[in-house]
Amino acid sequence: MINTKKMKYYYIATMGCQMNEYDSDSIGSILQGQGLLSTESPDKADLIIINTCTVREKADQKAFSLLGRMIIIKKKRSNIVLGMMGCIAQQEGRALLKKFPELDLVIGTREKGNISSMLDRIVNNGERIAATDISLTSIHNFKHSEVFFKGRIKSNLSIMEGCNNFCSYCIVPYVRGREESRPQEDIVKEAKMLVKQGVKEITLLGQNVNSYSAGKGGKVKFPELLKNIAEIEGLHRIRFTTSHPKDLSDDLINAFIEIEKLCQHMHLPFQSGSDRILKLMNRKYTSKEYMRLVSMLRDINPGFSITSDVIVGFPGESEDDFKKTLDLIEKIEFDNLFSFKYSDRKGTKAAEMPDKLDETEKASRLKTLQDLQKEKTLLRNKRLEGKTEEVLVDGLSKLGTQYSGRTGTNKIINFNSDTNVIGDIVKVKVNRAFINSLNGELLI
């Protein structure tokens, strides 16, 4: 139990992916259950936690620069507790305590459930703790607070953690451990708890949700889990991320026909259009197989939204390999693409590979690819002009002058309304399409 006389406010800075957002929410939920209050200001906080990402070099730099700023605060108020969690914490472990004497706590990716006892030891015994042994803890050894998510329209829910794939460029299997799926009953219970607090859309999370496997003998697979979650009354939409193409089964593709609440969108990373590079990446599919999966999804619905990740400038990527990636983008017409320059991650196979490309070449390829994708995104969005979309309204537009929400295909749409429609599901006619958003009119 945390001594709330010594500790009242907590501040969590979250970097990286939705899994980190979920982990920060989980810690926040536990802390609030113990009587702590959240603050947006680190200067006011008694507990500061930085939830880090190490997927790319830039993310590392961002985390350490933020740590530097938090250390300045700690130097002024030495009684506060300063912690780091997430992938950098898992990777560096105790070494972080040695390097940064101001740091009190390093929380590994599977240790969030033990936050209260760790804080107790720090505050009452003056200990400094690094808890990063993945083999010691299972992924979900805690209970959420029953009120933490009140007022939210959308929420994430982790169904599994870890990854067995070892793509040659990726650090995740080393920092998140091997795949471990949560029991179906726990997930359904958590989904019901979220819906009870007002959540209308849930995004199921995992490093590779397609290989979800739980129950006796691993009998419960992902499509069955989706069906059971879809039965929850009051839940309107289900999404999931991330999917690995090699594990995308026919059953899962059929789930998009059978389950009405399942949004017509899939994030399906392809990484490269060249089979030679895919092999070096250890992705275990070919570009042809990838394209077959996409056409099965678009056969269900031509408007089915496909977003993806691609890496530019992988070691040894030739002009011809890069051209194959551009060809694939041309053919598939992704709705959106998250594109990155390759960067070495220490400890991965790709970091040891020869024929690294120089930064200028990588940057130039990235620009060519992004220019092409912008055309494709606009093209896909323009096809929606004149159509009516079902929209879950989640707030105001960036400028604050209109209401804003997401279509089932996960596109942002802004529109005017005389009444407050935040939290509602409404019909909006698309009038104009841009690269990053749509604009429309509310239909009564």
> Which residues of this chain interact with ligand SF4, rule CB under 6 A?
163, 165-167, 170, 172-173, 207-208, 244
Minimum Å distance from CB 207 to ligand SF4? 4
Rounded CA gap, 444 and 442, in Å?
Answer: 6
Counted residue by residue, the chain has a size of 444
Minimum Å distance from CB 314 to ligand SF4? 12
Token pair of 424 as six digits: 């509602």
Nearest to 349 by CA among 128, 177, 167, 103: 167
Pick 15 or 172: Cβ nearer ligand SF4? 172
Pick 33 or 173: Cβ nearer ligand SF4? 173
Minimum Å distance from CB 126 to ligand SF4? 38
Pick 207 or 439: Cβ nearer ligand SF4? 207
Pick 34 or 207: Cβ nearer ligand SF4? 207
Token pair of 139 as six digits: 């992924």
Pick 173 or 423: Cβ nearer ligand SF4? 173
Minimum Å distance from CB 38 to ligand SF4? 29
Q: Hey, what amino acid is at 231? A: E
Rounded CA gap, 211 and 221, in Å?
Answer: 7
Token pair of 252 as six digits: 């899962």
Whole-angstrom distance between the N-terminal and C-terminal Cα of the chain?
51
Minimum Å distance from CB 313 to ligand SF4? 16
Pick 108 or 405: Cβ nearer ligand SF4? 108
β-pair type (403-407, 412-416): antiparallel
Pick 328 or 426: Cβ nearer ligand SF4? 328
Place of tokens 């008694």: 46
Cβ pair 123, 81 in contact under 8 A:
yes
H or E element, residue 8: none
Pick 115 or 277: Cβ nearer ligand SF4? 277
Minimum Å distance from CB 180 to ligand SF4? 13
Nearest to 357 by CA among 260, 277, 257: 277
Cβ pair 86, 111 in contact under 8 A:
no
Minimum Å distance from CB 161 to ligand SF4? 10
Token pair of 183 as six digits: 């029991």
Minimum Å distance from CB 209 to ligand SF4? 11
User: Alpha-carbon dihedral of residues 415, 419, 423, 428, nearest 10 degrees?
Assistant: -30
Rounded CA gap, 336 and 324, in Å?
Answer: 18
Minimum Å distance from CB 183 to ligand SF4? 22
The phi, psi pair for 440, rounded to 5°, reads: -150, -175
Pick 279 or 374: Cβ nearer ligand SF4? 279
Q: Hey, what amino acid is at 437? A: S
Cβ contacts of 148 within 8 Å, gap of 6 or more: 25, 28, 29, 32, 33, 197
Minimum Å distance from CB 281 to ligand SF4? 8
Beta-strand runs (E) in 317-401: 336-341, 388-396
Beta bridge pairs of residue 84:
50, 106
Cis preceding-peptide flag for 242 (omega within 30 of 0): yes
Pick 191 or 311: Cβ nearer ligand SF4? 311
Token pair of 268 as six digits: 């399906």
Nearest to 395 by CA among 38, 148, 153, 149: 153
Pick 18 or 145: Cβ nearer ligand SF4? 18
Minimum Å distance from CB 16 to ligand SF4? 12
Number of helices and strands (H, E) in the chain? Answer: 13, 21
Minimum Å distance from CB 164 to ligand SF4? 8
Pick 165 or 307: Cβ nearer ligand SF4? 165
